[in-house]
Amino acid sequence: MSRTVKDYIRSIADFPHEGIVFRDVTTLFADARGFRMAIDQLLNPYAGERIDRVAGLEARGFILGGAVAHQLSTGFVPIRKKGKLPGAVISEAYQLEYGEAVMEIHDDALRAGERVLIVDDLLATGGTAEAGIKLCRRLGAEVIGCAFVIDLPELGGRKRLEEMGMPVHALCEFEGA
């Protein structure tokens, strides 16, 4: 029986809090076949499209985005949590369940007109991805899509991004939060 990307993802109950089922992609990353399958499938919808940069969302998006950028022979741009990047940055705040968080990108990471693919492991509420899209757009780049390994549809992230006009590609879905 052939395996799917979803088969490589471990579910851990009550992490980081009771009642949460954590979808652990480190088991996917650790398996050479699973990891290659994920990277190939993340790229598939964009075959033949011009992509100038891949932007990865902290932190697992760095692993995936770096591998995707390598396959595309293009540059990689990290979008990080506040205070992690040296030098001049621009910031974008977004809402968490309780409070606010901030994502940052170097102010010279992208040029006007560049076509960017945003990559991360998990799409939940979409707040982090929305902040990443806004940062790229503020630098004049065109975000052509967002690619994720996992979508948690009940949390509404896909709808949120699609309402921004953003195409969303996810390799698998899990029910629940």
Mind listing the pLDDT tens digit for each residue in 75-132? 999 999 999 999 999 999 998 777 899 999 999 999 999 999 999 999 999 999 999 9
Q: What is the mean pLDDT of residues 167-174?
A: 98
Is the omega angle on the peptide bond into residue 45 within 30 degrees of 0, that is, cis? no
Q: Please tell me the predicted confidence (pLDDT) of residue 176.
A: 72
For 19-62, write each residue's pLDDT tens digit.
999 999 999 999 999 999 999 999 999 999 999 999 999 999 99
> Which residues, listed in sequence order, are joined to residue 148 by a DSSP beta bridge?
120, 170
Residues 42, 30: contact at Cβ < 8 Å?
no
pLDDT band at 174 (very low <50, low <70, confident <90, very high): very high
Give residue 108's pLDDT. 98
Give CA–CA dist 5/28, Å, rounded. 7
Which position has the token pair 């990471």? 109
Distance separating the N- and C-terminal Cα atoms of the chain: 29
- Which domains are seen in the chain, by residue range? 50-173 (3.40.50.2020)
Residue positions annotated with a catalytic role: 60, 97
Residue 177 is predicted with a pLDDT of: 60
